[in-house]
Structure 1
């Protein structure tokens, strides 16, 4: 596969040769026809050492568009969405528990079944430029494994178009309802990739027992951990310290993520110690770019060596009317809510939404080194590409054109916001 006339991160125009699921050659545009040498290695080999056939079987005309790594949705709830369905008034109340009960009362009543809803939304995300997803699936005494099975089915339906990592998520906590911990373990046996947790202090009111269950299962099954943390101020910092302590004790550096965690950064006098603690334990963080006072400072996290990604959370669901399956929109929201105006910072928001999140789902992917880092389009990088109309990366984020072509593992999977 050859991709002609694209501008990686808005730079000079190049042609890309894709082979074996990675970028194998990078030429200045037109250089292949003139015999000029490519940048980087002139051939790639498979893992078994055999030579790959690099003769292009297809050509994509980039038409001078930007070339970016595809988006990674590092925090979404595919099982919690009404995207594409008739709008309904918001009926949720304040607080996680009240919102959870509202979702529990309504999620089975949607106009179409949950597997179809999940599969449709995942397809919509892919069509808009996302090819790596970490999705939560609610597992509790009400849903059992039904919502998990829907996410696993959607992953299978789109297995050639996207990588989907599934988190077994105890939205109702682990201690408030008898049998919750058993359902969480059953979810891991059924195929979930990651163990979820939530608000050990404010929801379950027993952080030691809650984290005993979560990290006990992590040790038993050898799985990563992803904990929702909405807890405020010193209470959130206390939970974070307990999470870091267990991460280090179990040697799980690089395998733990705190989702949300906005209130951890409300007191500027405590940020430095927190950043150091997160970096020491290599605990990643994920933002959904919320409004309001609290922010997740992705530039400070990156500078401190902390992996950070972006996600869409639930989308037009029983929790919130926001969300549409488009990570480009959510990246604009991240830049806007953080008050970014300088091009370098706006481009950093795009880097967080692409390679930043990818390094969470796959810790083997090199993390962002600083706010100026623009990785993902060199020889040897995954051939997961978004071709996007725009003069610059910043203008493309402002305009959010529908002129997009999405490649995954060197194959076109979507064009013009439609799956191929």
Structure 2
């Protein structure tokens, strides 16, 4: 049961002082000098800025070594090297996706993330073992965090026969979204790979989120094949292309033609804003009407030593990658880990308005830009009307 809550003396991102009344887990009223009965729990914000709960649009909870001893990374530079190394290491160590996903999810929550999309490895070695662990985490946190699970063929689909059936099983067991990976360079048959992916998604009536690392012209070719299928099957608004490095490699004219198709078919793009590879151009995406949002990707796993479960940090990295310096531009970076992420992933009832789900984060910052740049400790985190963290420490 959700208690009524009145948060007083806070400021909206535009600086306007306000109070926020919460009832039944939802924002009931926003305005100055609100009054409620004595039975309502009160929280004095002491002038803090209130933000909507953050959205992690792309991570891998099942892979993380968060809180574990340091993993010494000596893997080769090729994508296939990392895939094979990870699969071997997880099998050899008995890596516990349940315990590790719970540890990282709780760290996300303490830092203000209340909605999260995670990709979970499905392959013929592990079967649904990693999925079962993350399903347990989702159940354990169901009252305080909304977690979407992507059934992801990290080792490829067609190159490992039987993976397609396992992906279907994963969707039947509770995965929310169907994943895919580099149909040309990993599966080495983009037409057949995409046909199978869309057939599975259509059969189970699930959206798609595909990792597309493929570069330049190869990536553009695959992207157009994907868009053909989005149009043919009426899957507008139900497909995300993660990474989409090819869009950062194409000539402007070719890129803009592709962006126009992407916008027309309402396909969203996910970026981690990496510094080491080309990325989709933020301004070009905005001008074309394409939704571009952000996520961490893996955090402290066999792929990368980097990453933290702090979406303000990811917003800062977006700002740095796209050279966003003006305060109004840094607000765009925050949109990538809030409103745009919610829109792209389909997290409903999101935002700072009456009738939205009461997911609130209080930070000591003068402006939204300062919050992104300085990443202050979260003073208070509320999810669905329940206080779940204070001063960066989760209470659940």
If the length of structure 1 is used for normalisation, what is the TM-score?
A: 0.89
How is 1:335-350 mapped onto 2 (pairs within 5 angstroms)? 335-350=319-334
Match of 1:372 in 2: none
Match of 1:50 in 2: none
Matched, 1:114 2:97: yes
Match of 1:36 in 2: none
Q: Structure 2: how far apart are the matches of 1:128 and 1:169? A: 26
Could you list the per-position Cα deviations for residues 298-337 of structure 1 after superposition, in whole angstroms to 9, with x for gaps in the alignment? 3432343222221111111000100121112111111111
Could you list the per-position Cα deviations for residues 19-62 of structure 1 after superposition, in whole angstroms to 9, with x for gaps in the alignment? 2332221112xx336xxxxxxxxxxxxxxxxxxx9986211211
Q: Which runs of 5+ in 1 are unaligned?
A: 34-52, 367-375
Matched, 1:395 2:370: yes
Q: Structure 2: how far apart are the matches of 1:163 and 1:110? A: 29
Moved over 3 A (4+): 53-56, 108-112, 363-366
Match of 1:281 in 2: 265
RMSD over aligned Cα, in angstroms? 1.8
Q: Which runs of 5+ in 2 are unaligned?
A: none
Match of 2:25 in 1: 21
Picking from 31, 34, 42, the partner of 1:32 is 34
SS at match of 1:79: helix
**How much has 1:363 moved relative to structure 2?**
6.3
**How much has 1:226 moved relative to structure 2?**
0.6
Change in CA separation of 1:56 and 1:330 when aligned onto 2, cut-off 3 Å: farther
**Retained in 2: the 8 A contact 1:19–1:54?**
no
Could you list the per-position Cα deviations for residues 163-215 of structure 1 after superposition, in whole angstroms to 9, with x for gaps in the alignment? 00000000111111121111111111211111111101111110111111110
Could you list the per-position Cα deviations for residues 93-139 of structure 1 after superposition, in whole angstroms to 9, with x for gaps in the alignment? 12221110010111245596321111110010011010101101100
Worse-superposed segment, 387-396 or 163-172? 387-396
**How much has 1:392 moved relative to structure 2?**
1.0
Match of 2:282 in 1: 298
How is 1:369-388 mapped onto 2 (pairs within 5 angstroms)? 376-388=351-363
Picking from 211, 216, 221, the partner of 1:238 is 221
SS at match of 2:246: helix
Q: Structure 1: how far apart are the matches of 2:287 and 2:362? A: 28
If the length of structure 2 is used for normalisation, what is the TM-score?
A: 0.94
**How much has 1:152 moved relative to structure 2?**
0.7
Match of 2:390 in 1: 415
SS at match of 1:133: strand
**Retained in 1: the 8 A contact 2:148–2:177?**
yes
Change in CA separation of 1:9 and 1:344 when aligned onto 2, cut-off 3 Å: same
Q: Structure 2: how far apart are the matches of 1:56 and 1:298? A: 47
Matched, 1:333 2:317: yes
Q: Structure 2: how far apart are the matches of 1:55 and 1:255? A: 45
How is 1:12-411 mapped onto 2 (pairs within 5 angstroms)? 12-28=16-32, 31-32=33-34, 57-109=40-92, 113-266=96-249, 267-362=251-346, 376-411=351-386
SS at match of 2:186: coil
Q: Structure 2: how far apart are the matches of 1:230 and 1:54? A: 55
Q: Structure 1: how far apart are the matches of 2:348 and 2:110? A: 26
Change in CA separation of 1:205 and 1:385 when aligned onto 2, cut-off 3 Å: same
**Retained in 1: the 8 A contact 2:122–2:153?**
yes
Q: Structure 1: how far apart are the matches of 2:135 and 2:62? A: 10
Match of 1:6 in 2: 10
Q: Structure 2: how far apart are the matches of 1:189 and 1:55? A: 47
**Retained in 2: the 8 A contact 1:7–1:66?**
yes
SS at match of 1:17: strand
Could you list the per-position Cα deviations for residues 78-106 of structure 1 after superposition, in whole angstroms to 9, with x for gaps in the alignment? 01111111112212212221110010111
**Retained in 1: the 8 A contact 2:180–2:211?**
yes
Change in CA separation of 1:112 and 1:185 when aligned onto 2, cut-off 3 Å: closer
**Retained in 1: the 8 A contact 2:342–2:348?**
no
